[in-house]
Structure 1
């Protein structure tokens, strides 16, 4: 009798342990499901990605963009989406433009180049003094031969492609010549990316002088649309979700000129002499 009672007691205890375990498991499972649902609801309330309105009218350098063509609208839509949702880069575009555009605008105007070409610089280099894999240098991404042909000094000691004013002057000369050759500023901009020879070859091959009707390599085919998208966003930043305060912008860096009439053998010592560092 005692043995049977003891066995019954153990069975009840075992059942109680199983019941409590199931209760705890059910509680945690229910809590996990609730947590996931709350998280998902919060995510959907807080995060949204929107399609963008395509402008009804747009120009580049005073020339109409044929937005009634489906392929043109879709190409512009692609570049607007890329540049709107690559927020970090576009924010930097806006900040750098505040610092560098005034000088570029002045030189373009002096050379009768439409103001829209300042956006070409962002498409080329992001307004950074970079060197491309092909050897193009500076914010205007000038090749050595092109730079020398347009009056810039490029040698082991000096590379004026890094000089914003002189490089802008050289680019202006190139663009004016291209406008004379192709008859439109849009084609002049395309030739800046593709090269005059390459673009002329396609003009003759396709018997077509309108950029928007030409079949070109992928980079040049996107090039004008990227410039247009950058222009649209920088001129209307809040329409694309970009909000910056004046203090967020980059401003011109105070500078002064130093006359150098001999070769500099040690730039580290030269920099130290003028209270700057080698990097600058």
Structure 2
């Protein structure tokens, strides 16, 4: 009788073990199948929402024909910082790239015609994002000229005309300033750095620290980052898809066809004058932001070229 009870007990235990094994197999998750990465519109692997893309930093880089010493660890890290800051500020970078379609080609032509390396177009981007901005200190336009410096290099700054807001004329003035600075420093990298902190301030730091090379100087935080912001714009603009920006040619902004109207007499009402030209006050101000008042006083012998949509 006891043996029968033992057999029954063993049988029940065996049945329980079998049932537990079956349930375990049903509840144990299967090993997920590995699928090939999904490629996005730009041919780059799409990443899960919680993933962050790690960018490749250039192994070598130049600014205006001058080597950037990326073998120096802090130089490498400072460049990497600015690349990530700008590449991951996608909304700003996309709009900046779109806006560049209206200006960069002609800026390059002006720089070349005046003997300034093409890389300085990225300095204009760092200064103003290619907008007619005004700084708290009073610097204005694409190239952020202060009024005295603007006048020194041939720009008119008056009550009703401020040519710092004329991006073509201010670019010409900038080339004069940059060439003058290059005569002083002999290095385009130093020229770019001194554009941020001033020629006098940059030269003082060189003398105090017994170093001439920008990359060997300890500078204030803004100027320490400034050169690397310029370099980051160069790297991203010249390799947009590599950093996640796949703009098509038609995505870039373009200026409409413009006509030039030469003016050699006072205009009492720019709104009425624009209307007489078949345009509007709004269009007049958009394409001629250097006109700062509601009228225009023209000195004897002076002429102005006003641009309006055809």
Give the deviation of 1:257 after TM superposition: 1.4
The question of 1:100 aligning with 2:100 is answered no
1:60 is matched with which residue? 63
Structure 2 matches for 1:1-280, cutoff 5 A? 45-274=48-277, 275-278=279-282, 279-280=285-286
The whole-number CA distance in structure 1 between the counterparts of 2:259 and 2:190 is: 38
Native 8 Å contact 2:128 2:144 kept in 1: yes
Q: Deviations over 1:37-90 (max 9, x none)?
A: xxxxxxx83342122221100000000000011110110011000010000111
Name the CA distance, whole Å, in 2 between partners of 1:264 and 1:141. 28
TM-score, normalised via structure 2 length: 0.74
In 1, the alpha carbon distance for the partners of 2:133 and 2:256 equals: 19
Gap regions ≥5 residues in structure 2:
1-46, 287-310
Count of residue pairs the alignment pairs up: 237
**Per-residue deviation, 1:203:** 1.0
CA distance in 2, matches of 1:263, 1:216: 49
Instruction: Compare the two structures and name the one with the higher helix fraction.
Output: 1
Q: What is the Cα-based RMSD across aligned positions, in Å?
A: 1.4
SS at match of 1:216: coil
Could you tell me whether the CA contact under 8 Å between 2:271 and 2:280 is conserved in 1? no
1:258 partner SS: strand
| Residue 277 (structure 1) shift | 2.7
Kept after mapping to 2: 8 A contact 1:157/1:263: no
**Cα deviation 1:154-191 (Å, max 9, x = unaligned):** 11121111112211111001101111111100000111
Q: Provide the rounded CA distance (Å) in 1 between the counterparts of 2:90 and 2:144.
A: 24
TM-score by structure 1 length? 0.81
Change (3 A) 1:47 1:253: farther
Q: Secondary structure at the match of 1:256?
A: strand
CA distance in 2, matches of 1:263, 1:194: 39
